[in-house]
Amino acid sequence: MLHDDSSLLLKTERLSKRYGRRLALTDCGLEIPRGRIIGLVGPNGAGKSTLLQLACGLISPTSGTIEVFGAPPAADAAHLAKVGFVAQDTPVYAGLTVADHLRMGARLNPRWDAGLAHRRIDQVGLSLRQRAGRLSGGQRAQLALTVAAAKRPELLIFDEPAAALDPLARSGFLQNLTEFVAELGASAVLSSHLLSDVERVCDYLIVLCDARVQVAGDVDELLVTHGRLAAPRDALDRLPAGIEIIHPGNDGRHSRAVVRADAPLDHVPGTVEKVELEELVLSYMARAASEPTARAVTTAGEVLR
Ligand SMILES: Nc1ncnc2c1ncn2[C@@H]1O[C@H](COP(=O)(O)OP(=O)(O)OP(=O)(O)O)[C@@H](O)[C@H]1O
């Protein structure tokens, strides 16, 4: 579906990023509406951090275009203030105390919410006097999250936000995130290897493998347009137009396949069952892993590795 650009959070066209001869992201086309919590999933090295860094303006595309809120990322100070980013290694200043971080945040950010910052610091049990260099990995993550949230951005971008958090802290963080996004009418993008986290909070999904977007869309829509088809083997070879096999599997006389259907799945031979999000994601990952790698060939057809 095409959206009026002003309603878009993120729009990319033929977006690619290359590091030397290595393609980190290629031919990425996305149109994501505002107000979503977007889960970005994919295996190690898929290009997730690259896409997030492009969206923050930390790196520039090699080719193609990217717009956040209708403008190039980090276009000016006002645009920068709209986006909060927490990088994968949750960077904090080791020599500064928690209170110093909040003071610095207040000085640098016009929309700084001191009340929110102090409430979160209390909630997660950090002391204002602690030096960031002495915090555990999870505590550092909480501090970085607090600083990003207190900017009151319209878009929060998290690279693996929950990786360093214990299960209880992770659950609390995800809860805070959904509440914060709802309260501000903000949007969030989070990359994660934890599909259960994505399933819990995200209403939009991007699966990225081998530098390419494999599938992107509203979670509810994806679950309706995909199914697990069980049918005699020869029937799978003769599927009607509009039905694409994402990942086939065998089960004796029958074959099972996760399929994507542009048409209703009513008239296909065999039985169709619902897929869970995890199976859907794993099917796209398995398909990407079984295909020739996008990174292997340049546009000139030259083999890279
Ligand atoms: N600064 C860089 N210089 C050179 N190559 C890079 C750089 N950053 C990323 N890459 C390469 O680009 C590809 C995509 O990396 P990226 O960090 O975006 O993946 P990722 O999906 O975030 O991985 P992970 O889940 O392991 O964090 C990888 O092959 C990586 O080696």
Q: Of all protein residues, whose CA lies closest to atom 16 belonging to ligand 1?
A: 47
For the record, the structure tokens of 154 come out as: 């319209």
| 78-109 per-position pLDDT tens digit | 888 889 888 877 778 999 999 999 999 999 88
Q: What mean pLDDT comes out for the span 162-189?
A: 81
The neighbour count for residue 237, using CB atoms within 10 Å, is: 10
Q: What is the pTM of this model?
A: 0.89
User: Both ends of the chain: CA-CA distance in Å?
Assistant: 37
CA of 97 to the centre of ligand 1 (A): 31
Q: What mean pLDDT comes out for the span 63-91?
A: 88
Instruction: Say yes or no: CB of residue 42 within 6 Å of ligand 1.
Output: yes
Q: What is the pLDDT of residue 294?
A: 59
Virtual torsion, Cα 66, 71, 73, 79, nearest 10 deg: -160
Q: Of all protein residues, whose CA lies closest to atom 8 belonging to ligand 1?
A: 50
pLDDT band with cut points at 50, 70 and 90 for residue 284: very high
Q: Of all protein residues, whose CA lies closest to atom 6 belonging to ligand 1?
A: 19
CA of 47 to the centre of ligand 1 (A): 6
CA of 187 to the centre of ligand 1 (A): 24
CA of 20 to the centre of ligand 1 (A): 12
Q: Can you state the angle between helices 167-184 and 137-150, rounded to 10 degrees?
A: 0
The residue among 286, 287, 285, 304 whose CA lies nearest residue 295 is 304
For the record, the structure tokens of 170 come out as: 């992770």
pLDDT band with cut points at 50, 70 and 90 for residue 216: very high
As a whole number of angstroms, the distance between CA 73 and CA 105 comes to 20
Residue of 18, 19, 213 best suited for mutating to test ligand 1, as the one with most atoms within 8 Å of CB: 19
Residues 6 or more apart in contact with residue 67 via CB below 8 angstroms = 5, 8, 10, 11, 12, 73
Residues 6 or more apart in contact with residue 200 via CB below 8 angstroms = 174
pLDDT at 305 over 60: no
As a whole number of angstroms, the distance between CA 91 and CA 106 comes to 17
Going from the N-terminus, what domains does the chain have, and what CATH number goes with each? 5-209 (3.40.50.300), 220-295 (no CATH)
Amino acid (one-letter) located at 6: S
